[in-house]
Amino acid sequence: MAEVRFGAQLWSQASDWPGYLGAAIAAEAAGWDSVWTWDHLTAIQGPWEQPIFEGWLAMGAFAARTSRVRLGLMVAANTFRGPGHTAKLATTLDHASGGRAVLGIGGAYFEREHDAFGIAFGRSQGERLDWLDESVGLIRRLLDGERVDHDGPAYRLHDALVLPRPLQAHLPILIGGGGPKKTLRTVARYADAWNTNGTLEDVLARDGILREHCATVGRDPATIERTLSFPVVLRDDPAEAERAYRSICAHNGMEAITSMPVLLGSPAAVADRLRPYVERGFATFIVRLPAPYDAETIARIGEVRAALAG
Amino acid sequence: MGEAPDIRTLLGPVGVWASFDSLPSDALFAFAAYAEELGYGALWVNESVGREPFVVLGALARATSRLTLGVGIASVHARDAVAAHAGARTLAELSGGRFVMGLGVSHRSSVELRGHDYGPPRAVLTAYLDAYDAAPWRGPDVADPPLVLAALGPRMLALAASRAAGAFPFLVPVSYVEGARRTLDEAARAAGRLDRPALVVAQLAILGSGPQVLEAARGSVGRYVAQPSYRDNLLRAGFAARDIESVADDLVDALVATGDVTALRDRIGRLHAAGADHVALVPLSVTGQPADRATALACAPR
């Protein structure tokens, strides 16, 4: 079985700063492999008026207060910045963190924040995914030290150069999303890691499409790390896990997290739910952790890892 | 009795067709939910000597909310015309009008397996349709669901044009669809019909490429081409008898869409361009298993 990794995706909404930063520090101390945050300008779960912090800058702060975990956005909204700006941010995070950056990026889908802040949203998801493909291709070249001239269709670069180079010889790019026509083709072309979620059958269907895109573009599909994101709440008593989950949702003004599946229960029970995915090569789990960042789940993730290993 | 709902609106441009008999019923219902989530317009359930399709469709009618359900195709030898029409009306009611009926004479071997005689197809179907149209009905007032007929040759297509909402040929290449479209339209004009008959076309598909996929595709076709009606239709479409017998690569390519997302969607687009109103995708796995999610996802309308 592949080596299992756990990432903590700390939602940046409905928290104060000490709680948010503290969760990142606690995740590192508890043995998580990576810490992530999303890239949104208004709250996307529950009422949009909830307070929310900016993602890249939070990553800079996390870099200064951690020393081991990998750091990245899960995922950056491609629409918010041009590819040059994104490549500079990822490079700077890589230096600030001593070579721990991952560049997570996706097409973006939340129209309200684009509207609110006057950011171009495009005519359709298809158009945003065309932008993503063009952008990620340019980001890869910039991260690799190339001087880039590029003339559209969406982006223009004129003798663009990103220096310093990232500390990592190959700063990894993670792409989030599972769209069969475009997103997965972009993953096959450029991604070092791919994030999706869903039932095992859903995930395997998307994986089948990714493999076929890989065949078309001549990419070895085994070189793409598969990552999944699920909400997890760990408690020995399943009823207590359910209560804690409800309370976390209520804190964020939600009835439930709109993501399947939600994994609640003991470390052994959660490991049983994850095992079929691990057996099919999906061995990195980026756990969705909304404020107030459940301390017991953060502290006990090692027990899930041990249950999967044993 | 209300007007029949418009069949093109009901079906949408793409649906899925599956022979579910090898799958547990949980998998069948999960796949139906998946097809609905992916935005497919219709789910077609076949009739063989496995599960009884009207029973399955009745359960599906209550388990789905947007998907149009179709029987593709109910054998006229499986139940009398009164029972068939009652089943169609009942499904129209249970689904809230999301049902399309399909009738056909099936194949000699299947009919004989049921213990019946295989008569001249056009005459048998015509007599059955007469009884279907005249069937008494004492159930609740419900709009009669649209009807498609299994048809391959020009005479059966003409019958569909004069007696049904449309035709549903199975196992046909793109080149056949253009001719079938013309035949249907000409027969409709000759019958004085004002609207255009719907052309529903099944398309076998496998997301994937390479030798394993080619063999799975060959296996999926091999089961059918031995039937005289498919064989005759492929001969009419210009395939050589020896290529049909050996299930040659060219024949497999023409009947089964394989490749990546772009290739599969291109095949569906070509069927539409050739005159198909609705493509009933038959999503197969790389080992030829039915109701494959990756292939269904690859071809999803949205």
DSSP A231: B
CA–CA gap between residue A284 and residue A176 (Å, rounded): 13
* Chain A: closest CA distance from residue B20 (Å): 17
A182 contacts on B by Cβ (under 8 Å): none
**3-class state of residue B201 by DSSP:** strand
pLDDT tens digits, residue range B26-71? 999 999 999 999 999 999 999 999 999 999 999 999 999 999 999 9
CA–CA gap between residue B84 and residue A165 (Å, rounded): 72
A180 contacts on B by Cβ (under 8 Å): 261, 297-298, 300
CA–CA gap between residue B242 and residue B240 (Å, rounded): 5
Q: What is the pTM of this model?
A: 0.88
Could you tell me which chain B residue has the CA closest to the CA of A204? B294
- Residues with Cβ < 8 Å from A27, sequence gap 6 or more? A8, A10, A35, A69, A298
pLDDT tens digits, residue range A58-94? 999 999 999 999 999 999 999 999 999 999 999 999 9
B298 contacts on A by Cβ (under 8 Å): 180, 208-209, 212
Tell me, yes or no, if B23 comes closer than 8 A to chain A by beta carbon: no
A212 contacts on B by Cβ (under 8 Å): 207-209, 259-261, 294, 298
Mean pLDDT of all residues in A241-258: 94
Distance of CA B45 to the CA centre of its chain: 8
Residue A259 clears pLDDT 90, i.e. is over it: no
Tell me, yes or no, if A254 comes closer than 8 A to chain B by beta carbon: no
- Which pLDDT score, from 0 to 100, does residue B4 have? 65
**Inter-chain CB proximity B261 and A215 less than 8 Å:** no
B208 contacts on A by Cβ (under 8 Å): 208, 211-212, 215
Give me the tens of pLDDT residue by residue for chain B, a chain 302 residues long. Answer: 456 679 999 999 999 999 999 999 999 999 999 999 999 999 999 999 999 999 999 999 999 999 999 999 999 999 999 999 999 999 999 999 999 999 999 999 999 999 999 999 999 999 999 999 999 999 999 999 999 999 999 999 999 999 999 999 999 999 999 999 999 999 999 999 999 999 999 999 999 999 999 999 999 999 899 999 999 999 999 999 999 999 999 999 999 999 999 999 999 999 999 999 999 999 999 999 999 999 999 999 97
A72's enclosing H/E stretch is strand A70-73
| Assigned token pair, B153 | 């040759």
Annotation: CATH topology of A5-309:
TIM Barrel (3.20.20)
Selecting from A202, A207, A216 the residue whose C-beta is nearest the C-beta of B260 gives A216
pLDDT tens digits, residue range A203-240? 999 999 999 999 999 999 999 999 999 999 999 999 99
Domains and CATH numbers, chain B: 7-204+261-282 (3.20.20.30)
Tell me, yes or no, if B259 comes closer than 8 A to chain A by beta carbon: yes
Question: Are residues A188 and A210 in contact, defined by beta-carbon separation less than 8 angstroms?
Answer: yes
CA–CA gap between residue B83 and residue B77 (Å, rounded): 11
**Inter-chain CB proximity A202 and B209 less than 8 Å:** no
DSSP A247: H
Nearest to B172, CA basis, from B116, B112, B231, B217:
B231
| Assigned token pair, B278 | 């609705």
CA–CA gap between residue A132 and residue A108 (Å, rounded): 9
- Suggest the residue from B29, B258, B260 to mutate for an interface test with chain A (most A CBs closer than 10 A): B260
pLDDT interval class at A257 (50, 70, 90): confident
Using the CB atoms, write b or e for B228-240: b if 16+ within 10 Å. Answer: ebbbebbeebebe
Question: Are residues A6 and A282 in contact, defined by beta-carbon separation less than 8 angstroms?
Answer: no
pLDDT tens digits, residue range B143-163? 999 999 999 999 999 999 999
Question: Are residues B84 and B103 in contact, defined by beta-carbon separation less than 8 angstroms?
Answer: yes
